[in-house]
A and B are shown apart, each in its own frame.
Chain A
Amino acid sequence: MLSFILRRLIAGILTVITISVFGFLLLHLGAHDIARRLVGGMADPAIVERKAQELGLNRPLTTQFFDWAHGAVTGDLGRSWSSGQPVTDALASRLPVTLSLTIGAVVLTAIVGIVLGIVAASRRGWVDRTIQVLSLLMSSIPGFLVALVLVLLFALGLRWFPATGYISAGDSLNGWLSTITLPVIALAIGAIAGVAQQVRGSMIDALRLDYVRTLRARGLPYNRVMYVHVLRNAAGPALSVLGIQFIVMLGGAVVVEQVFSLPGVGQTAVSATVQGDIPLVMGVIVLTSLLVLAINLVIDLVQGWLNPKVRLS
């Protein structure tokens, strides 16, 4: 198990390094006139040049990269060019918002998706068909549209929730719930459909296997067969889908955070990119890479726990 974890960790670290190198190159080679974007469009060329000098943009790209990389390995991701804030502080203040959203959406997805999948697989008939149609609808509607409809209905119409903004759980649990409920639903709705379909399919496949018939023939209760044996076998693929959805949600959070004006990592990524704030964009790249690495590692470990064959492979 230890070598399994080590192999995954080494592969993950190499991935993060590769992404960082490519990210840095793409940001610098693809961006023009970064100093002007930071100073402002109307500025005199002399002031723009002064800013470029101040930020060290006139140095060779390799020098700039190694300076950044040296800081990064020691935990110093530099300072944001647009706000002057240390990048680690900027990310630390925004990560809880994005994690609130994505973890909330994953939990909601897991609960509703698995329940719907189980119900569809065990009931079949019109219940199954209804869930299938619902899943199709849920997965076809874009997340931002769902977000806008939720705001219109529940924030501006019924006034049950605030339309924008965020309150941390530390300040008020009720406030926190009120500000993340709609964003979480908007983020989860497409993923729920995917997980429900996966659980349904895996369970139907498992129900057709010989061992299920044998267990039933030996007189085991239906519920024990369903939830202990069948669901456990169906859980592996469902977990993979859930893991992928978690990663997809990190991307989806960018849109949802914009619509609900939430101060998360996604919103930071957008504004930093627009402003040409390379240190902050690089910080977002490193952070999301590490998050994806961690999520994949956790999924691999849980898969290994559920199915020992995975550990051997």
Chain B
Amino acid sequence: MHSTKRVSAILVGGLVAALLASCASESTPTPSTSGSTSTSSEAPEASGTLHLGVVTQLASFAPWEASWANQSPYLQAVYDTLLRTEPDGTIAPGLATKWEWNEDRTALTLTLRDNVTFSDGSTLTAQLAADNLLKFRDGTSENASFLAGVTDVEAKDEHTLVITLAAPDPALPVYLSQNAGLVGAQAMFDSKDAQTTPIGSGPYLLDADKTVVGSTWVFEKNPNYWNPEDQHYSEIDMTYYADPTALMNAVKGGQVDAVNAQSPTQSTEAQAAGYLVQTSEQNWVGFLLSDREGKLTPALKDVRVRQAFNYALDRQGLLKALGGGLGTVTTQVFSPNSPAYDPNLDQAYPYDPEKAKQLLAEAGYPDGFTLKMPSNNFVPESEFAIYKEQLGAVGINVEWEATGDDLFGRVLGGSWSAFSFLLQVDPTAWQTIQFSMLPESVWNVFHLADPKVLELADVVRHGEGDKANTAAQQLNQYIVDEAWYAPVYRPFSAFLTNDKTEAKLQSDNAVPYLWNIRPAQ
């Protein structure tokens, strides 16, 4: 009997010893999800390493497959873009120091820097930039269509590049400041490891030994970078958090210096943990009332029915219920940063169920009508129930159809007259127009043409300054009046930083640009 006690005591003692040993934090390296370490002796100084949390895995380091938005930090670590944008969206020099449109705005000439070296020792040339642009246009990036209008890219000389378009595209400089403007070395083009092994000219170099693909990416400062002012850290690790709870645990445990919050409640928790929460409006939530010729749902052909849909929504209530009150109600799809934006159009359809019923009756639907829309797995079931209740109260009887993982394909194929979505707001009016208002727009799912929209869009496309801005505002007013959409609110996107870190939000991107995240001054 005594032996039993002794054996138990030894085993329990061993476990306790192991636990205590594990708690010896003084000599314990900072944990990462990579299996790598950064000991205090390895880090040159306290602010030497940025621990950046990321909420999306990197799809590819190959520029022609690259995504953007939440994936931009990975790419900005190792690459430069032809142009850049300032936090307020102003276009600024990148690899190109000068850029100039021709008279009819169908050719953009860029002058490139002559002191840029890639991590394999090769140098930047106009021909290399041209090859990158064409490869992006023909590649499989989600945004390859950004360059669909590019007919030719020519290197005029060693450092002069001319991009020729089939028709003017005012958003081209913006695209060149994002994934479409990434420039990788020639050696990547035929490399089978291009997706995982970047060869760029960016401020940091990927440390493949410390990186666990799909989990943690580690970058070391590039000693040969042309612009050392943008290198604020000697090392950056980017850790992907798949689980929102794990992300918040990392925040509360002080394991990340900066990260995007994934939900409104996380902002509150982060604030309580001592993080600075900065908010911006990057998306809008609401409905696209696409079947405006009534192909699937005849009622939607009548503008009064679409307006009734808008009046039926209690936006303040929906913002509180669905977005935790963190956002701005709106009835327009253009960004507050876009010249098309009109603050009055955020309140164009106040909550008025009686008016909605009246409009339905005037349109010939006094008893209402049935509208089939797709539900999805991205948002809780309760969200659809709330919409159904509000729309049902005025006579728009919603039947939600469950969708599988082919939601996007079916939505874009015109399977439903209307659908709810969360979509990005763009910095330029032209991007928003191009996205869902033109007959060729992918998100104009019935590909309908409206002469008034085409006329105003043409002015925006070809025009400059006040003329284009006025046309954009007129177009915005028109589609709000015509109730092409039923936006509900623009949710706040929150970026969290601890007291060692400061960041300037980017008006046109989900996360701050990497060079705008730095040690707190």
Contact = CB atoms under 8 A, between A and B. Distances in A.
Interface of A: 31-33, 36-48, 50-51, 54, 79-80, 82-85, 89-90, 93-94, 96-97, 108, 111-112, 115, 118-119, 122, 148, 151, 155-156, 159-168, 171-172, 174-175, 177-179, 181, 222-223, 226-227, 258-263, 267-268, 270-271, 275-276
Contacts of B193: 84
A151 B25 CA distance: 17
A181 B62 CA distance: 38
B37 A181 contact: no
Given A90-B213, A263-B33, A47 B58 contact: no
Given A84-B60, A118-B4, A171-B35, A164 B246 contact: yes
Contacts of A227: 3
B212 A37 contact: no
B7 interface: yes
A119 B249 contact: no
Given A90-B214, A261-B239, A164 B249 contact: yes
Contacts of B216: 263
B243 A33 contact: no
A162 B31 contact: yes
A175 B28 CA distance: 5
* Interface size class of chain B, counting residues whose CB lies under 8 Å from the partner chain: 35 or more
A164 B27 CA distance: 18
A161 B23 contact: yes
Interface stretch (B289-297, B318-326, B355-363, B403-411): B403-411
B35 A168 contact: yes
B250 A261 contact: yes
A83 B195 contact: yes
What does DSSP make chain A's interface, helix, strand, loop or mixed?
A: helix
Given A32-B406, A172-B28, A258-B242, A263 B249 contact: no
B33 A171 contact: no
A275 B405 CA distance: 10
Contact of A259 (B7, B29, B62, B246): B246
Interface stretch (B87-95, B139-147, B457-465): B139-147
A25 B264 CA distance: 40
List the 9 closest A-B pairs by CB distance, nearest first.
A84-B195, A177-B22, A40-B142, A165-B31, A163-B253, A263-B215, A32-B406, A168-B35, A163-B249
A263 B212 contact: yes
A157 B239 CA distance: 23
A178 B22 contact: yes
B245 A148 contact: yes
Contacts of B214: 80, 82-83, 85, 90, 263, 268, 271
Nearest to B249: A163
Interface string B430-461: 00000000000010000000000000000000
B142 A93 contact: no
Nearest to B245: A259
